[in-house]
A and B are shown apart, each in its own frame.
Chain A
Amino acid sequence: MIVDKAGTPITATDNVQPDTRHGVILYVEDVSVSFDGFKALNDLNLYINDGELRCLIGANGAGKTTLMDVITGKIRPDTGKVNFGQQVDLLQLDESEIARVGIGRKFQKPTVFEALSVYKNIELSLAGDKGIWTSLFGKLTGEQRDRIDEILRTIGLTNEAFYMAERLSHGQKQWLEIGMLLAAEPRVLLVDEPVAGMTGQETERTAELLTSLAGEHSVVVVEHDMAFVRSIARTVTVLHQGSVLAEGSMSEVQSNPEVIKVYLGEDSGEDSGDDNSEGYPSESGEEYIEASSSKEG
């Protein structure tokens, strides 16, 4: 293995460069996870290309969050492989090491460090040495200060920089968490429901931000808000019962008979059997997806 467990606890190395010569940055292969017999992930295969923006959709319990947990090391899969680039085996690393090799995560429920100021929150998230002595004796360089200011501007919290994070509104906390993600300069961003609790305008800004990030970073978004997904997504992956049901552009996915079947439920199986080849009109499936998503949201 090339990564030496991402450094000692005392001084930790910088982000490693994953080998992406094949164009794929994240390999998830044959991954299964079960909780007390319940299969949360079932032989799941997923490849995220370098610089891609990918949306994950799926009903509750489809395994979206579990997948994120597996990639970020919170849950160890029962079987399967998860690689970062070609050479880094993520299953060998723990959460902090995975974060350090360049995979950042935004949680479904915004979690920021509430007893710290917005500024400190960003400062802690900056890429760089995460060792103890550096933390104890290190001072912010001018560059780092500029970077923090820049991020604060990007997320629109410049005026709130020295507020305790606990005083921020829900939407602001979402932004702060995105800011923390930016500060870490990850190669892959895993974003779990970024726009929950945001106003329409904020949602728009988030969409803008995420699309602008793609290219330099690879972004994986889990979202229930279909309008949002449509506005940003180039490729959509549909998860169902722990495995990938369909993958493709939004319209492809929406017209996929399997997806429609799942979203419309098993009852309609007989009907769909007849005109399987032609599929349902895309509108009806889409409507259903949105209806079901708003219910969950």
Chain B
Amino acid sequence: MRRFISVLFCCLVSWYAIADDDVNTKDSTAASSSIDSELIELVNQLPNTKLNKMQPLVENIAAIKSHKTREVLQILLAGDLYYLKSDKTLVNAQKQNDGNYQLTNILTDEALAPVKKRAIRKIRSNNRLRSAIRSFIAKIDLTDDDKSTRYGAVEQLLEKPSQETLDTMRSLLPLEKDADVANLMQTVLLIEQLKHGKIDEQLSAVAGLKSSLEPVVLNTLSALSEELSASEKTQEQEQLLTAMSKAIATIESKRSNYKFIENVFFGLSLGSVLLLAAIGLAITFGVMGVINMAHGEMIMLGAYTTYVVQLVFPNLIEYSLLIAVPAAFVVTGLVGILIERGVIRFLKGRPLETLLATFGISLILQQLVRTVFSPLNRQVQSPEWMTGSWQINPVFSLTFNRLYIILFAIMVFFTLLMILKKSSLGLHVRAVSQNREMAKALSIKSDWVDAITFGLGSGIAGIAGVVLSQLTNVGPNLGQAYIIDSFLVVVFGGVGNLWGTLVAAMSLGSINKFLEPITGSVLANIIVLVGLVLFIQKRPKGLFPQKGRAVD
């Protein structure tokens, strides 16, 4: 039995050591040696100091500039600071499940053997001390060199600032160099002023807060105005109330503006996905008149290409997308050319047959992927730079992946437009699509042009797949979800008109995102579908039809 316990003990110790190691890799494990000797001396006085003498001691500790200072104060604040009765070593003690305490030497970060409660004693504190400590910590953070730490500290103080921290902030504000931090500090002070100031101070506070979007500002304003309006008012209070309700209205209209912009952004990002998915189709369907039901599977192949790229280069996740985009373009482009040469060219001028045959191909491709990669969804990783978001203000932020996708989609769109408008390939493609016989007579190799065009359309679908792999699960059915949408986008925009496709994709995306909060996503989807069907019936040629005498 004893042996068992000792083994267990050893295990625990070693585990803690390892765990500790992990935590402190960044702080440098040799920190203890660099700790200021003054700090050590002061800290070691803690066990011997009576509660009423604590405040000056803590103040002294807080005055020492060291990364350890904050840590000690934090532990003390949390009530986890104990000392060993035996040798008065200061420890951070955490109660374990078995009732024993797990100890860490706060100065050396050394893990000690767990002990029973009676072996240690708590460094006591009271409310006054604790609030003092809080403001010391805040002060430390507020004077930190790092801007984001300072910002974070102020943000923490938004909700419930203590008098001390407010004082600190007041003193720090003139020294603050960073505008964001200064603004936020100002907001905190103004809220305080609003809550507890005299009436004219309150009025000026309202004026100052009008432009702030922090949720707490709105909450405070509404709470106060509610309180005010419920009771008897003097004339000045009346004035304050109107000022406040004006401020609330301003803030709320701003917030709803940002909400609107956010919806537009979401709409554009969905639109970009639709655009990427549809634009390949706009080429194969719009320019060549070929109905490619396997288009969705081209997207899927692109997504799987990304997956394979990440499998092959596991160390290059950061660059995987940069590799995957050309790789997917080539892979799906080649598959597209294969399909064109193998099947579609035999079905020229028979769109419904083409539709069926390519549908067959889509089934084969799906099953192929299922057989090769398993029917389960595959996880495609996002590189670091695609994650996170750009916080513009407290109620509005843009996620990087969506932002990049919008930019990327627009880039692809214009590249394609350039290719079709300016390059000789584009000229040939347009020539063949308008009058095949004439183009042939002008010695344009129409077969070759067809194959290349189809490859181009498919290749772009592949690129769309790379993008989609960052947004949704990569599975064999990935493409099916997009094929109907893509077709509708192309038809909605007007077949054969790339600009129409752009407008259609973006407007469909936006409509969807604006409907979503009202109706839920499924119903929004249905409404958009039904709306589109009705639209096509009203204007069968889409938003931007190709006019002319030849069109019948």
Contacts and interface: CB of A to CB of B under 8 A. Distances in A.
A115 B549 CA distance: 28
B517 interface: no
Nearest to A40: B549
B548 interface: yes
A36 interface: yes
B177 interface: no
A21 B548 CA distance: 39
A201 B135 CA distance: 113
B547 interface: yes
B434 to A, nearest CB: 15
B49 to A, nearest CB: 93
A35 interface: yes
Interface residues of A, number: 4
A113 B80 CA distance: 94
Interface in B309-364: none
A36 B547 CA distance: 7
Contacts of A38: 549
Nearest to A65: B549
Interface in B517-552: 547-549
B549 to A, nearest CB: 5
A35 B547 CA distance: 8
Nearest to B547: A36
B35 to A, nearest CB: 83
B13 to A, nearest CB: 87
A38 B547 CA distance: 12
A36 B548 CA distance: 7
Nearest to A33: B549
Interface size class of B (residues with CB under 8 A): under 10
A40 B547 CA distance: 14
Contacts of B548: 35-36
A38 B549 CA distance: 10
A36 B550 CA distance: 12
Nearest to B551: A35
Contacts of A35: 547-549
Contacts of A36: 547-548
A173 to B, nearest CB: 20
Nearest to B550: A35
A269 B289 CA distance: 47
A36 B545 CA distance: 12
A271 B549 CA distance: 36
Contacts of B547: 35-36
Contacts of A40: 549
Nearest to A38: B549
A35 B546 CA distance: 11
Contacts of B549: 35, 38, 40
Nearest to A37: B547
Interface string A22-37: 0000000000000110
A35 B551 CA distance: 11
A36 B551 CA distance: 12
A35 B545 CA distance: 13
A35 B549 CA distance: 6
Interface string A4-44: 00000000000000000000000000000001101010000
A261 B547 CA distance: 33
A36 B549 CA distance: 9
Nearest to B549: A35
A1 B306 CA distance: 67
Interface in B92-149: none
B431 to A, nearest CB: 20
A35 B548 CA distance: 6
A3 to B, nearest CB: 27
Interface string B470-511: 000000000000000000000000000000000000000000
Nearest to B552: A74
B486 to A, nearest CB: 29
Interface in A30-72: 35-36, 38, 40
A200 B374 CA distance: 72
B189 to A, nearest CB: 66
A58 B471 CA distance: 62
B465 to A, nearest CB: 38
Nearest to A75: B549
A62 to B, nearest CB: 13
A182 to B, nearest CB: 27
A237 B548 CA distance: 27
Nearest to A61: B549
B539 to A, nearest CB: 16
Interface string B404-435: 00000000000000000000000000000000
A262 B547 CA distance: 29
A78 B286 CA distance: 29
A36 B546 CA distance: 10
A149 B62 CA distance: 116
A187 to B, nearest CB: 27
A40 B549 CA distance: 9
Interface in A194-234: none
A60 to B, nearest CB: 12
A282 B548 CA distance: 38
Give 7 nearest A-B pairs by CB, closest first: A35-B549, A36-B547, A35-B548, A36-B548, A35-B547, A40-B549, A38-B549
Interface of B: 547-549
6 contacts: A35-B547, A35-B548, A35-B549, A36-B548, A38-B549, A40-B549
